Amino acid sequence: MSAIDWVVLAATIGLISGYGMWRTRREQTGETFLRGHRSLSWPAIGLSVMATQASAITFLSVPGQAYDDGLRFVQFYLGLPLAMIVIAAVFLPIYYRLEVYTAYDYLEKRFDVRMRALGATLFLISRGLAAGITIYAPAIILSTLMGWSLTGTNALIGIVVVAYTVSGGTDAVSQTQKQQMVVILLGMIAAGVTLALQLPEGVGVADAAALAGATGRMAVIDPHFDLANRYTLWSGLIGGFFLALAYFGTDQSQVQRYLTGRSIGASRLGLLFNGVFKIPMQLGILFVGILLFAFHVYEPAPTHFNPSVVQRMEASPAADDWARAELAWADANAAREVAADALVAARRGGDVESAQAAFVEAQRQLDEVRTDTETLIAQTLPDAELEDNDYVFITFVVERMPVGLVGLLVAVILLAAMSSTASELNALGTTTMVDLYERLGRGRVDDDRRRMLVSKLFVVMWGGVALAFATFASMLDNLIEAVNILGSIFYGPVLGIFLCAFFVKRVQGQHVLPAALVGQAAVIVLFFSDAPLGFLWYNVFGCAVVVSLATALSFVRPARDAS
Amino acid sequence: MSGSDERDLVERSREEPPPFLGTWHRVYIALLVLLAGYIALFWFITGAYR
């Protein structure tokens, strides 16, 4: 990175962090550290909710996902607006009326303290591990840029985020997320415009979409009902609905964001704002990946986007085989470029069908070379990460973005990491403090200074857990999928508990506790089995097991008899 | 809970109409219509590039 990029990076992060500190300069108490001042307007809540979900993974991994697999990933978000409506209409009024600190606080009010502890524990496990992945994602960038060790970079980012969260608490996280989202969106627009401008002369955005479309990458909707297919209209609408309902309705990292609203109406509008803008935002980020695909049709991609894998292959005993693979890769790329030129020309007047068929064949041959290359890497470096989608976008940013914009884009990714990880650590600390330490331990801490200190210590503790898991994240293939698969393993049973609480009056704690334990075990068994089921369906499955089993138990052993 | 805390809770929990479309039900329906619009747009894009 150039000196200008470093200045842009430091100024962007420094200004936003400084603004957060200035806005939260009022004396902090244990109460405001945990809950904030509860004065946010609806646009601030909407942006805060979006910023919490949009981690660095979104900006690193999603363009790479579209580069490799097209736009169909956006179906994942189709259930989100439906979930926002249910949360705004049903969950939110209950949370407000009962004045809960955490979502799990409600479970005690509805069931008993055991259910509160179980809900909080499932949240702590899933979110603690997910926080590790959200720390790891930006560590890839800095380690690639600076040549630092990945472990050391993980530690550096983790320490910075923990310090930021501990210094500001809930208020600082919420206050700065508006500015962070604005910078993030501007940065992604700049990346898209730069990509469009770097396409060859005579190749426009419509041509780029046509090239991607010929390979199936513009197929946004898949209407087939196929349980094994991860992204279809139905997995998005049904599985995505359950996932979004669980994430936004029961995950404290999100509940804590919208409960800081100045009124129930502000929180409601903030959630619906997310329902309106999330899908177009994700489609826009995915389209950056489509432009990347077209860009690399004319500017051949490296044989593998992860530079450390390339370096290791070049230094390995299979270096000669690797050199031959690189030659085959270059030839296949050249053939595809010729076919692309023909297709773009045909679109201006010619036989589009034949040109398209030739381009598809060239892409197929390129994919074959790619598969052979991956086989060679797997045989030579059994421990190497084969998937390189997470490196696609950052490679473009570092190598092709103009001076100044590189710094802005790196700032975007770091800000996204800060906003989501800070929300997560803040929620993890709050839940540990309120739901476990105070409720199951010594009771509410009366000394306010001590209360704040203990809460901050829990934030630091969870920062350590997240960092420990971050060191294992390099073993995961695709970060955006990994974080959603992890969530889907735990969210179904947790959502089942909450749906019983909201909608099945006859179910009590004694029914839902065994049902939740069985449901969680069933999802874990399903995950480790070879069952052909896309991960979004885990949410539906886990939820269905808990609701049906708890309801059945309530008939077998009604609450009145049991008591 | 003190008196002012209780007033604050009542104030924050009070149902109020949305700033547009009159009722919350209409806002929810508008969001459903928008979702249907997104799906229709995606269907069109998929068909156009098939």
Write the residue in A78, A214, A264 that is nearest to B15 by C-beta.
A264
Lowest mean pLDDT: which of A73-87, A134-148, A455-469?
A: A134-148
pLDDT at A151 over 90: no
Tokens at residue B11, please?
Answer: 């104030």
Give the closest-approach CA distance of B27 to chain A in angstroms.
9
Q: Which of A85, A209, A213 sits opposite B31 (nearest CB)?
A: A85
Sorted by sequence, the CB contacts under 8 Å of residue A414 that are 6+ apart come out as A9, A13, A56, A138, A141, A157
Measured between beta carbons, the chain B residues lying within 8 angstroms of A82 are 32, 35
Tens digit of each residue's pLDDT (9 = 90 or more) over A403-424 = 988 888 888 788 777 777 888 8
Residues 124-163 (A) with a CB less than 8 A from some CB of B: none
pTM over 0.90: no
- Closest by CA position to A461, among listed A131, A153, A174: A131
Out of B14, B32, B42, name the one closest to residue A221 (CB): B42
pLDDT of residue A517: 95
The pLDDT, as a whole number, for residue A516 is 94
Per-residue confidence at A563, pLDDT binned at 50, 70, 90? very low
Residues of A with Cβ-Cβ distance to B49 under 8 angstroms:
209-210, 212-214, 218-219
Residue B21 distance to chain A (closest CA, Å): 12
Which of B11, B12, B32, B33 is the best residue to mutate to test the A interface, defined by the most A CB atoms within 10 Å of its own CB?
Answer: B12
On chain A, the residues whose CB falls within 8 A of the CB of B38 are 78, 279-280
Backbone angles phi, psi at A261, to 5 degrees: -70, 155
Mean pLDDT, chain A, whole residue set? 86
Q: Give the pLDDT score at A114.
A: 92
- CB under 8 Å to A80, separation ≥6 — which residues? A240, A241, A244, A248, A274, A275, A278, A279
Interface contact flag, B38 A279, Cβ < 8 Å: yes
Q: What is the pLDDT of residues A229-283, one digit of tens each?
A: 788 999 999 989 988 998 999 988 888 888 888 889 999 999 999 999 999 999 9
What B31-40 contacts at long range (C-beta under 8 Å, 24+ apart), as own/partner pairs, is: B31/A81, B31/A84, B31/A85, B31/A272, B31/A275, B31/A276, B32/A81, B32/A82, B32/A85, B34/A81, B34/A276, B35/A78, B35/A81, B35/A82, B35/A275, B35/A279, B38/A78, B38/A279, B38/A280, B39/A78, B39/A221, B39/A233
A18 touches chain B (CB under 8 A): no
Q: So what's the pLDDT on residue A356?
A: 93
A93 contacts B39? CB cut-off 8 A: no
What are the tokens at A440? 């199951």
Tens-place pLDDT, residues A181-240 = 888 888 889 999 999 999 998 899 999 999 999 999 999 999 988 887 788 999 999 989
Question: How does pLDDT run across B1-48, given as a tens digit for each residue?
Answer: 455 555 565 566 567 889 889 899 999 999 999 999 999 999 999 999
DSSP state of A235: I
pLDDT tens column, A310-366? 999 999 999 999 999 999 999 999 999 999 999 999 999 888 899 999 999 999 999
